[in-house]
Amino acid sequence: MIKIDHIGQYGVKEGRMPMIDAFHNLSKKKQDKVINAALLEFINNGYHNASTNNIVNNAGISKGMLFYYFESKKKLFEYLIMYCIKIVENDFLSKVNYQERDFIKRYRDASKRKLQIHKKNEHVLNFLGSLFLDGYATVPDGLSNKLIRMSESLVSNLHKNIDTSLFREDIDEEKIMKFIMWTFEGYQAELIEKLKRKKLSEVDYDPYWEEFDEYIEALRKLVYK
Model confidence at 4, pLDDT cuts 50, 70, 90, reads low
Per-residue pLDDT tens for 107-131? Answer: 999 988 988 898 888 899 999 999 9
Please give the pLDDT value at position 15: 40
The CA distance from 66 to 106, in Å, is 41
How long, in residues, is the chain?
Answer: 225
The model's pTM is 0.83
The full set of domain ranges for the chain reads 18-223
φ, ψ of residue 134 in degrees (nearest 5): -85, 5
Please tell me the CATH code under which domain 18-223 is placed: 1.10.357.10
Q: Would you state the pLDDT for residue 59?
A: 96
pLDDT of residue 142: 87
